Chains A and B, each alone.
Chain A
Amino acid sequence: MALLKTRIVAPSLMLQTSFRALRRPNLSHALLSLSRTISSTSPAAHPRSPHTLVDWRTMAPQDISKYLRQTHDKVFEHNKAWAAEKCSKDPEFFAHLSAGQNPEYLWIGCSDSRIPAEQITGLEAGDVFVHRNIANLVCNTDLNAMSVITYAVEHLKVKHIVVCGHYGCGGVKAAMTPKDMGILNPWLRNIRDVYRLHEKELDAIADEETRYNRLVELNVMEQCRNVIKSASVQKSYAENKFPIVHGWVFGFHDGLLKDLNLDFEKVLADIQKIYNLTES
């Protein structure tokens, strides 16, 4: 049965907290693949590979229905384990959390499942305010992202805004594919505009993957500019000397963040020639 191959994604403490819940006949094998105990003080206490081995696309209908229940239940089981772990390490953890948030960062990243902001930066619940969308875009007329920026800057007073892209971005690739993609068109069009802004440089790159990866970087820089064009950022910086805007790119091959070293002061000055919203 396909389910036998499911690799359960679990912190080791699940062995104690939800062993009973998991111990259904078709899951007993999965327990064998649970990783061994690791120190909970390590940067990431969740050992395992990123993917389940199961391919539900090829399953029989009755297996799919089991798989659906299992993937749904798994989340609740893991959540209980996580909450229990946090409580045992710091009984006040959730009391502090419910008292309010005071994050230093706003993270604007891609929806891609492989880039959970908190885990790859080793930050805790309460540290990062997060907006994630297709290809980490910040569009002037998108009230969704613009509301996030306004709230983070004016109300939470974040110190850093990070726009984080990633190499091999599916959204960037989709945007450069000659195809009508329906409701995705108006969103992905913004990436084509970035290409047009840097057409010469990009056209000169012969290797396709290298060209996409460069477009990923240029897209991040362009979205940083869009963040800086907002009234919230310009006004807050004039008054408080923060937030600072950063452009990062995440690489799957090594799991590392690359800082594109955006010169915030310079970009801000350049932008304010035309986009100044500070009334100064």
Chain B
Amino acid sequence: MKTDQDTFLYALSSNNAWAGYKAHQNPDFFPKLASGQSPPILWLGCSDSRCPETTILGLQPGDVFVHRNIANIISPTDINTSAVIEYAVVHLKVKHVVLCGHTACGGAAASLADTRVGGVLDTWLTPLKAVRAANQEALDAIRDSQARIARIAELNVEAGVKVLMANWTIQEAVRERGLEVHGVLFDIATGRIRDLGFGTKPGGGAGAAGEEVRGRHAQLVFRGSNASMAAK
């Protein structure tokens, strides 16, 4: 285990190496970055260190506009998230909004416990507590605690997508230019993302081919009353 100061210096020197490598490999890389951003994706995810969006998506700087908070909670009156959505949808005109939950989420686990987390956290986690209350019986029926945490993470994404779909800015963009909203779950144990099938349908009058493609990814492992992770 490196000392604290080591890890700090590592990040800075590693940045130096990364910048040198990128510039060497493609001299246009940074000039192009400096010229502006036009990301197709807005990512709303968890702050959890195990969910680095651009890395797990295999994408590059410039591809994903990002907001990450505790337990990827989408609260309609939160000005922070609202400002991100407004900027991304109205000003950058992203084509996809992706709300991503994940397994083994600390916030999800906290919402299933009956103890106070402390500080401002309990207030922040209130929407997740409401999701728990609304699904108490189904959640109680899941024996495995990790599966229960994964299930509430999925229900949280479903609730978050509903809030997104009720947002005026998003509604207008869906109607006027086919913005797509997706709810997905990142499985930390495998590194894979699953499309949960919430949100809009594939946009722009997609025909049968579009549905096929969509179907290939929609492995709805957690849907329905059976919430076992082993169901796959």
Contact = CB atoms under 8 A, between A and B. Distances in A.
Interface of A: 9-11, 14, 38, 42-44, 46-52, 56-57, 61-62, 64-65, 67-69, 71-73, 75-83, 86-87, 93-95, 97-98, 100-101, 103-105, 111-123, 125-134, 137, 139, 142-148, 150-152, 154-155, 159-160, 168, 170-171, 174, 181-184, 186-188, 231-232, 242, 246, 252-257, 259
A186 B86 CA distance: 12
B30 A183 contact: no
Contacts of B203: 65, 68
Contact of B68 (A42, A132, A137): A132
A183 B61 contact: no
Contacts of A148: 47, 69-70
A121 B10 CA distance: 8
Contact of B61 (A93, A120, A134, A242): A120
Given A86-B191, A134-B84, A184-B86, 10 more contacts: A49-B28, A65-B203, A68-B204, A105-B11, A118-B54, A120-B15, A130-B49, A144-B69, A144-B80, A242-B4
Contact of B81 (A77, A94, A144): A144
B22 A44 contact: yes
Contacts of A56: 40, 95
B58 A151 contact: no
A254 B21 CA distance: 11
Interface string B1-24: 000100110111011111101110
Contacts, number: 330
Given A64-B204, A79-B193, A73 B188 contact: no
B64 interface: yes
Interface string B125-162: 10000000000000000000000000000000000000
Contacts of A151: 47, 70, 106-107, 121
B28 A71 contact: no
A50 B23 CA distance: 12
Contacts of B193: 75-76, 79
A60 B82 CA distance: 31
A188 B83 contact: yes
Contact of A168 (B34, B95, B124): B34
Interface string B30-71: 111110011111000001111111111111111111111110
A139 B78 CA distance: 12
B161 to A, nearest CB: 15
Give the one of A83, A101, A122 with max B CB within 10 A.
Answer: A122
Contacts of A170: 37, 87, 91
Contacts of A133: 67, 80, 83-84
Contact of A48 (B23, B26, B83): B26
Nearest to B6: A104
Give the one of B28, B34, B78, B98 with max A CB within 10 A.
Answer: B34
B224 interface: no
Contacts of B64: 113, 116
B230 to A, nearest CB: 15
B65 A111 contact: yes
B67 A50 contact: no
Interface string B98-136: 100001101100000000011111011100000000000
Contact of A131 (B33, B47, B62, B121): B47
Given A122-B17, A129-B48, A252 B30 contact: yes
